[in-house]
């Protein structure tokens, strides 16, 4: 894999979480009945990754896993969480799947 510069990492960190989610899941479905309380831009998604089920709240690049009660502020964080991988592997996965 080619070396990834900080500018590229910055772009990935700010990708919309829903866009990245769809690249890593099989399948991902938006819950159209969800009505956000705090931020009107928040959406709820149901997804399956590597045989595991997730219910995620997504707002811009941020994610929150409602079942694991954990989240993060950037797309790389969501890739690390969903795929159970480290930072370096997550950047490689984003390189291949998203960009």
pTM: 0.82
Please report how many Cα atoms fall inside a 13 Å half-sphere around the Cα of residue 76, on the Cβ side: 16
Q: Are 92 and 10 a contacting pair, CB within 8 Å?
A: no
Measuring CA to CA, which residue among 11, 13, 32 is closest to residue 78?
13
Pick the CATH number of 6-31+40-97 from 3.30.70, 3.90.580, 1.10.3470, 2.60.120: 3.90.580
Q: How far apart are CA 70 and CA 97, in angstroms?
A: 23
Question: Mind listing the pLDDT tens digit for each residue in 4-54?
Answer: 555 655 666 678 888 878 888 878 999 999 999 999 999 999 999 888 999
The 10 Å CB-count burial string (b at 16+, else e) for 46-63 is ebebeeeebebbbbbbbb
What does the pLDDT read at residue 9? 57
Mean pLDDT along residues 59-78: 92
What does the pLDDT read at residue 94? 79
């Amino acid at each position: 894999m080619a070396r990834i510069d900080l500018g590229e990492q910055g772009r990935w960190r700010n990708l919309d979480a829903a866009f990245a989610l769809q690249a890593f899941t099989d399948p991902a479905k938006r819950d159209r009945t969800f009505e956000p309380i705090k931020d009107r831009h928040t959406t709820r998604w149901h997804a399956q990754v590597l045989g595991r089920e997730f219910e995620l709240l997504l707002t811009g690049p941020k994610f929150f896993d409602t079942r694991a009660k954990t989240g993060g502020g950037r797309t790389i964080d969501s890739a690390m969480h969903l795929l159970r991988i480290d930072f370096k592997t997550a950047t490689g996965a984003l390189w291949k799947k998203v960009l």
